[in-house]
Chains A and B, each alone.
Chain A
Amino acid sequence: MLAGGLSGPLGRGALLVGVVAAAFGAVAAITAARESGRGEDARTARLIPRFVGLAFLASLGSMVAMEWAMITRDFSLQYVQDHGSRSTPALYNFTAVWSALEGSILLWIFALALSAALVVWRYRRRLDDQLIAWAVAVICIVMVFFFVLSFGPANPFAEGAPGVTDGPGPNPLLQNHILVVFHPPILYLGYVGFTVPFAFAIAALVTGRVGEGWLIETRRWTLFAWGFLTIGIILGGWWSYEVLGWSGVWAWDPVENASFLPWLTGTAYIHSVLVQERRGMLRVWNLSLLLATFSLTILGTFLTRSGVLNSVHAFSESDIGTYLLAFFGVIVLVSLVLIGWRGDELRSPGAIDSPVSREGAFLANNVLFSVFAFVVLLGTVFPLIIEALQDRQISVAEPFFDRLSTPIGIAMLALMCIAPVLPWRKASTELLRDRLFWPAWCGIGALVISIAVGADGLTPLLAFGLGGFSGGAALRQVVLATRRQGWRGLVGRANGGMIVHLGVILIAVALTASNAFTHSQELRLRQGVPASFAGHTFELVGFREEKDDRSTAVKALVVVDGEKAYAPAITKFLNMGMNIGTPSVKSTWRYDIYLTLEPPVKKDSGEARIKVFVKPLIMWLWIGGGLMAVGTVLAAFPGRRRRRPTDPTSAPIDLSRDEVTA
């Protein structure tokens, strides 16, 4: 295999080219910005596309080299020795490239270089604009950091011990579900995507153009980054549900929190940015939210990849922690210094007139999201704080997060009932009574239906009632908008946003229902003897054994409700000494029946221990996730350009600015 041995040197070479190209890109961009700042002809700007293009090609090259090494089973590389194997199926062998730390940094770099290339291409005619040049410079600097990380401490192309001809393959959990192809790259697109608005925020601070221009430039970037992050998180929950066998979607694991934190601050930003665009207020706050979002992606990567916190995602750990922490420190320091320096120019021209207004609601939204982010951050790092102060190890688990997230979630639902119908500036009581009439009836309807189907408990009933109310409020907006504007009533920020709201509400209701009303029991099934539980029958009809080079799987065939056989399995991965349970799920729109096979399995005894979970409304989680994705795409479409005279209006904004994004 002649070409096989080459991927190491080629990949490493590509990374080195990447370091240099990104560094030159940064220098060129800063030079161009300074030239244009002095009013000279920014000729250096012409070099930017070349360097950024080269960096993109370098990242592509290193990614291809790694894939090539994995596909040709090039066991001269340490990474392939550790995470490749001759018996891994082609698909999981392909995804094995990002199944551990070094390779996932490669993927990260690729996504980053892709964003950089897209930014440069998008603004190819305006690279001599100071704001754009500084933004490109910031992206390039971030790129340098990650290229250096990959070239040095997290080198995926390190040579392994000689003479190795096979490896264990990726972690078994990363080779039994198709979502491994989608969840990590999509999540990374989300993480990395926030680099772009971050870069524009820094550029705005550096150039002093802290008005609303940079916001409008980055609106769609932020939306897509947020959308990818959202979908990535939901796919992660789905994966957990389908693979891990504990029937849950979210465990407040540090890695999950690491993705949730930037999502919270990002969501807050998406809302509060509207206030700034409309009324020029909350400038410092918006900048802080963006800077925090990006910092939190780096902090999350540090927390989960340095090994300071334990996680179910412990697929990879190494000594890159110091680098990430230092980078996090630099980002926070630079951000704070810049905000402090530009402090006076960031004073907003207006003030909020009344709390019962659109901007007041956005402010309340931001308070909730920030408190939520603070709670999650505190819970995640609390073990570290205790360890530093008292030198003992503790863990903060679900009860903490559940107890605190429930009231916050309820408050968010309540806000979603009222906020969409509020006008800017000030709302009168009559107006509220009028606009909230139908949504309130939806809420009462939802409450009645919930009680009729047997739901009880304060929190679930509150959640269902508010879910109906807020769903009604969102639907009211969509219906009014489509009635006025036809299909255009579905696109644009406000309308797309309402569709996202509907998705969020579905998820909130589904999560509440499945958390509160899951029934589970372990059944000892004897072959041929049906058992019943929670109104369903389960019959063990036999076992099936499947063997291949890497694993042996035992499946118990269980017929549910006399219809179809489901086959929860236990797979023993020979190389890893790991037993992996794989659940089998019957999904309907009303409930899921989730079966897991409990070890030890003795086929000859004709008996199996099957754990059964009957979970309501799970399917609506995924539907809600899909709706959020659809809503995000719709929101990214340009809405109506001109406002109608009947629309609620407010402080004037410069409408010509909208042309920029067109």
Chain B
Amino acid sequence: MSVRTTTARRLAPVVGLVLVAFFVVLAVSKPRGEANVSSPLIGNPAPAVRSTVINGGDFDLARRKGSWVVLNFFNSTCVPCRNEHPELVKFAEQQASLVGGAELFTVVNDDSDEAVTAFFDKNGGEWNKVRDPDGTIAVAFGVAKVPETWVIDPSGFVRMRVAGEITAPLLSSRIAAMGGPVEGVGS
């Protein structure tokens, strides 16, 4: 009995310590939010996707190396896509004012050229809209639902995936935090 008592006495502080440490870990963990979704692609080279742009020209992701690229998967009938559009316009303006600002591309998901053009004519947004007629790009990235926004760094590595509506400050600040262009620096 006495042996067991001493063992228990010795074990108790250890158990307590582990529990306290566990509690601290839980207490300091930050909510990740719905926005930031994991993907096996993160930290890996982006898929080499190619397509055409609605207003003419080709799109080849591999040739965008050297600048930060933001892909926004979009459908003109999807309500969250429409909601986040003003934020994307703001983001594009912000980045255009920076040295080495990110390039924004809309990747059209299951939608017609006419509908997309009409939407952008009405709501603004001068950036390129990439066609994805058979969903190859969406499949290559593993897009679950629109809108989704992906960030690819100048070396061509996927750095972030955001599912759902995004805001301009979030996108800019996250890109800056990953070593991208920062407002007020360089320009």
Contact = CB atoms under 8 A, between A and B. Distances in A.
A577 B147 contact: yes
B38 A599 contact: no
A307 interface: yes
A599 B110 contact: yes
B110 A575 contact: no
Interface in A298-351: 302, 306-310, 314, 317, 321, 325, 328-329, 332, 336, 340, 343, 347
A384 B33 contact: no
B184 interface: no
Contact of B25 (A309, A343, A388, A576): A388
Contacts of A577: 75, 77-81, 145-147
Given A306-B31, A600-B110, A600-B135, A332 B79 contact: no
B160 to A, nearest CB: 11
A164 interface: no
Contacts of A387: 29-30
A317 B34 CA distance: 8
Contacts, number: 76
A454 B31 CA distance: 48
A168 interface: yes
Given A384-B26, A600-B110, A310 B32 contact: yes
A579 interface: yes
Nearest to B39: A395
Contacts of A600: 110, 134-135
B37 interface: yes
Contacts of B25: 381, 384-385, 388
A534 B32 CA distance: 43
Given A577-B77, A577-B81, A577-B145, A336 B29 contact: no
Contacts of B34: 307, 314, 317
B8 interface: yes
Interface residues of B, number: 34
Given A336-B19, A574-B77, A577-B80, A381 B26 contact: yes
Nearest to A346: B8
A314 B28 CA distance: 21
A328 B19 CA distance: 11
A336 B16 contact: yes
A314 B144 CA distance: 14
Contacts of B134: 600
Contacts of B135: 599-600
A310 B19 contact: no
A224 B162 CA distance: 42
A225 to B, nearest CB: 24
Given A310-B37, A577-B81, A325 B1 contact: no
A325 B80 contact: no
B45 to A, nearest CB: 19
B37 A308 contact: no
Interface residues of A, number: 33
A578 interface: yes
B109 to A, nearest CB: 9
Nearest to A302: B26
A307 B33 contact: yes
Contacts of B19: 332, 336
A251 B158 CA distance: 25
B12 interface: yes
A388 B80 contact: no
Nearest to A308: B29
A343 to B, nearest CB: 7
A168 B79 CA distance: 9
A307 B32 contact: yes
A329 B24 CA distance: 10
B26 A343 contact: no
B27 interface: yes
A574 B30 CA distance: 33
Contact of A340 (B1, B12, B27, B79): B12
Interface in B109-162: 110, 134-135, 145-147
Nearest to A316: B34
Contacts of B29: 308, 384, 387-388
Contacts of A393: 32, 38
Interface string B1-35: 10000001000100110010011111111111110
A662 B33 CA distance: 51
A306 B29 CA distance: 10
A576 B134 CA distance: 21
Given A317-B33, A340-B12, 12 more contacts: A307-B31, A310-B38, A332-B19, A343-B8, A381-B22, A381-B26, A384-B25, A388-B25, A575-B79, A578-B145, A579-B110, A599-B135
26 contacts: A168-B79, A302-B26, A308-B29, A308-B30, A308-B32, A310-B37, A317-B31, A317-B34, A325-B23, A328-B23, A329-B23, A332-B23, A336-B15, A340-B12, A381-B26, A384-B25, A385-B25, A388-B24, A388-B25, A574-B77, A576-B79, A576-B145, A577-B78, A577-B146, A599-B110, A600-B135
